[in-house]
A = this chain, B = another copy of it.
Amino acid sequence: MTGAGTARPGARATTARDLAEHLGISVSTVGRALSDDPRISAPTRARVQALAAELGYVANRSARMMRGAPSTVVGLIVPDVRNSFFTSVAHALGHLLGTRRHQLVLCETADDRRTELQHVRDLVAAQVAGVVLVPSSAPDPETVRLLGTVPHVQLMRRVPELAPHWFGVDDHDLVRQATDHLLAAGHTRIGYVGGTAEVPTGAARRDGYRDALRDAGVAALPEHERVGPPSSTEQGGPTFGAAALRDLLSLPDRPTAVVTGSTQITRGVLAAATALRLAVPHDLSLVGFGDEPGFGWWGAGLTTVTLPVTDLATGCGAWLLGLLADPDLAADPHASVTRGALTLRGSVGRPSTVSWR
């Protein structure tokens, strides 16, 4: 017996030619029957389709693409899927693509340009239809050139070398709101722990922090500002965030509140605060960035900048699909800023006058 599941992996896949020979007809008739070409007689079509179903025929995409069939693959390039923001993006994009029978190739860069280039090369070789990417701080020129061939959209971060299509949030404003919130609660010694200014969003967020202080007439102390790798690389994200918080707290004029500038860094800061057994908001007020599941139940709840993840991802994906359908859309730059908001929970209070430890 040759039941289902018996086909050995070694077995050559069934081709249109196999079907043709089995039925004693030509390959083109098979092709037409399978594509429901009206010119084919009903009985022939039925016979072909029946055999195709029986033999589990699946047309070879490579062959189709060589004949000019459009690619159904979209690349998603992110620093790290474990960051829940990017996870959500992958989910939303995958869902959107799935409904159109497109496929999602997931690529992680760890914010490394070499890795990024590698992925872009492979995507281009695979003839991807389009790419959604969170670019690294300074993409390799080769990356830039290769992407010149492929429709693409930038997500969150925006670098001028790539196509002027971008979906993101108002980073400056978001961190500014976060800082304003702490200022309004009476804090003046406010620390900032965020991503390096090399990354575009890093610079914008840090400036949001600085501008909030400046406009409030509060002196910004350089030692209260800590920047490092935003994602989860070797020394990145959580590790950096944790170390930075410890540093800030060991300062003579330690801050009474801290704003963070990336999700992974926020994780690290929370981990350090937990380890140090800080009483938040009594010992320290905190405003996070991003909204991981769990931020809501950290201590009395983390007050944090919430990003409209799903909207962003869906919008970005939908626009890319539109672009694939009509390449002329690439002509005029499309930038979309989705609004985020401060989610108020329990990690912000008035500055305590009690000295620490």
Central interface residue in A65, A82, A125, A162, by most chain B CB within 10 Å = A125
- Asked, given contacts A81-B94, A118-B101, whether A327 binds B9 with beta carbons under 8 Å apart, the answer is yes
Please, which residues of chain B bring their CB within 8 A of the CB of A126?
Answer: 61, 73, 103
- Asked, given contacts A162-B5, A294-B297, whether A56 binds B95 with beta carbons under 8 Å apart, the answer is no
Type the 1/0 row for A325-343, where 1 means its CB is closer than 8 Å to any CB of B.
0010010000000000000
Q: Are B58 and A62 in contact (CB under 8 A)?
A: no
Please, which residues of chain B bring their CB within 8 A of the CB of A145?
Answer: 4-5, 7, 56
Q: Assess whether A225 is interfacial by the CB under 8 Å rule.
A: no
Type the 1/0 row for A203-240, where 1 means its CB is closer than 8 Å to any CB of B.
00000000000000000000000000000000000000
Q: How many residues belonging to A are interface residues under a CB distance threshold of 8 Å? A: 73
Type the 1/0 row for A281-321, where 1 means its CB is closer than 8 Å to any CB of B.
00000000000111111110000000000000000000000
Central interface residue in A13, A81, A107, A141, by most chain B CB within 10 Å = A81
Chain copies in complex: 2
Complexed CA–CA distance, A145 and B3 (Å) = 8
Q: Are A9 and B293 in contact (CB under 8 A)?
A: no
Q: How far does the Cβ of A347 sit from chain B's closest Cβ, in whole Å?
A: 12
Q: Are A270 and B297 in contact (CB under 8 A)?
A: yes
Q: How far does the Cβ of A199 sit from chain B's closest Cβ, in whole Å?
A: 20
Q: Assess whether A142 is interfacial by the CB under 8 Å rule.
A: yes
Q: Assess whether A170 is interfacial by the CB under 8 Å rule.
A: no
Complexed CA–CA distance, A14 and B245 (Å) = 51
Which chain B residue shows the least CB distance to A160?
B5
Please, which residues of chain B bring their CB within 8 A of the CB of A322?
Answer: none
Q: Assess whether A18 is interfacial by the CB under 8 Å rule.
A: no
Please, which residues of chain B bring their CB within 8 A of the CB of A330?
Answer: 8-9
Chain A positions near chain B (C-beta within 8 angstroms): 4-11, 13, 56, 58-63, 65-66, 72-73, 80-82, 84, 87-88, 90-91, 94-95, 98, 101, 103-108, 115, 118-119, 121-127, 141-142, 144-151, 161-162, 267, 270, 274, 292-299, 327, 330
26 contacting pairs across A/B (C-beta < 8 A): A4-B141, A4-B144, A4-B148, A5-B144, A5-B147, A5-B148, A7-B149, A9-B149, A9-B330, A56-B142, A56-B149, A58-B125, A58-B146, A62-B63, A73-B105, A73-B126, A81-B91, A91-B108, A98-B108, A101-B122, A103-B105, A104-B105, A292-B293, A294-B294, A294-B295, A294-B298
Q: A5-B145, A101-B122, A294-B294 are in contact. List 13 more A-B contacts (CB 8 A).
A: A4-B141, A4-B142, A4-B148, A5-B161, A13-B149, A56-B146, A58-B125, A61-B126, A62-B65, A66-B66, A81-B87, A95-B108, A297-B298
